[in-house]
Amino acid sequence: MVGPAAAELLVTVGEVSDRAAVVWARAPASGRVTVEVGRAGQPGARRRLTAEAARESDFTVKLRVESLAPATRHAYRVAFGREAVDGEFVTAPEPGATRPLTLVWSGDLGGAGRCRSPASGYPIFRAMAGRRPDLFLFVGDTIYADHRCPVPENLAGADFRAADLPGFRAKHRYNRAEPAVQAFFRATSVWAIWDDHEVRNDFAGPDEPLMPTGRRAFLEYWPIQPPAGDPYRLYRRARWGRLVEVFVLDTRQYRSRNDTPDGPEKTMLGVAQREWLLAGLRDSEAVWKLVVSSVPLSIPTGRVARDSWANGSTHLNPEGTPTGFEHELGLIVRTLAERRVRNVVWLVAYVHRAEVIRHAPVPGLVIHELVAGPLSAGTGRPGLLDDTLKPTRLFGDGGYYNFGELRVTASGLEVRIVDVDGRVRFATPLAPER
């Protein structure tokens, strides 16, 4: 089953560093795609790159632009035939430079039948555009491949469950072609990671037959360029000057089965990714370390078996639950404490509500868990937290679409939860530990 053919040229910019960026485009047919990039306000000094859109990749292309100026607003034009699209993005400052950062994050787009409105599309993207962020972290469930979008309450084109590559591609096209999404993506850069609904609810790594197909479509439709020696790798990191380093986790591809009893051998990240994360956090010289995890730390999820890190609060079950990924989480927490890693913040989506949680699992270690979403899906309400990490809920609310905003300066970090109308529902500062 396939959705409507995209009648326009789609664009997204991602993987932006201090001197490089990846420009992604999806053409409506086969042919040459041209990208021109340069400093904003200097249209005569742009460099030009080309790529061929082919049916094999559903007419998607990715072009890596090198030798950009750090901490600079760049303008670009993507052209296909007579059609052209203009956009802008900001490069990161050099690693030692102190420069403010504004980012927004959220997840969960088009779930539970809350898909593209025939009248307003996905309006929350207009609210996010109004914040003028430097970058957007799309924290999972960028599509709902396993949900239907009935009409007439939704725009036609996604009223099916994806079961093959054309179907997965159509789900991505359906969300990406929405005008508010495209307008927002043309004004900033995007770092996206998948969660379960890019394939199937609560899927667990290689045990899911549709995982390779969903992964291929995800890689085709986002500006992600894995290393040549590991072509399916989705976890990666990004530096924003002296203040911020972002670690984007893949919590799906390498995980053990959810229904496996928790223990030392059970893993959500896999050994290679876990060691990459711990080494990166240890070695990072950034003030703030932002860990992007599509699944939460302290919010139990999953109907039959746990799908997030938490095994389950003892308030819910005094004996705990046999599944979850708390042994691995405990290893991560103990290592951070032993290495005296400070100012670690986890950015989460998944649970369709907003939460700001402070964890103090061991003496000398504080971790903040910031939860946002959904962008457009069913909404939830705060419930009991797993008490393993000794959480304190600073804010919890639900029942409306929302996104999170971080504003990072030399003096600290401010967290905001913003709703679909652009209203700030909660704000609090976080001071860095020295």
Report the pLDDT value the prediction gives residue 391, as an integer from 0 to 100: 96
> Parallel, antiparallel, or unpaired: how do β-strands 288-292 and 244-248 relate?
parallel
Domain boundaries, the chain: 95-430
Q: What pLDDT sits at residue 359?
A: 97
Tokens read off for 182 = 């495209």
Find all residues with CB under 8 Å of 423, minimum gap 6, and list them: none
- State the Cα torsion 414-419-175-131 to the nearest 10°: -50
User: In the structure encoding, which two tokens stand for residue 68, read together?
Assistant: 């950009």
Task: Annotate 348-393 with DSSP letters as a single string.
Answer: E-SSSSEEEEEEEEETTEEEEEEE---SBS------PPP-TT-EEE
> What's the pLDDT at 3?
39
Taking domain 95-430, whether its CATH number is 3.60.21.70 is answered by: yes
pLDDT of residue 42: 85
Average per-residue pLDDT for the chain: 94
Ranges in the chain, pLDDT < 70: 1-7, 313-321
Give the CA radius of gyration of the chain: 21
Mapped onto helix, strand or coil, the DSSP state of residue 142 is coil
**How far apart are alpha carbons 218 and 198 in whole angstroms?**
7
Instruction: Give the phi and the psi of residue 332 in degrees, each rounded to 5.
Output: -60, -45
| pLDDT of res. 1 | 37
Residue 26 pairs in a beta bridge with 10, 60
Q: What is the pLDDT of residue 322?
A: 79
**pTM recorded for the entire structure:** 0.96
The per-residue pLDDT for 320 is: 55
pLDDT at 344: 98
Query: Are the C-beta atoms of 124 and 167 separated by less than 8 Å?
Result: no
Q: Alpha-carbon distance 409 to 243, whole Å?
A: 7
Q: Name the 3-class secondary structure at 185.
A: helix
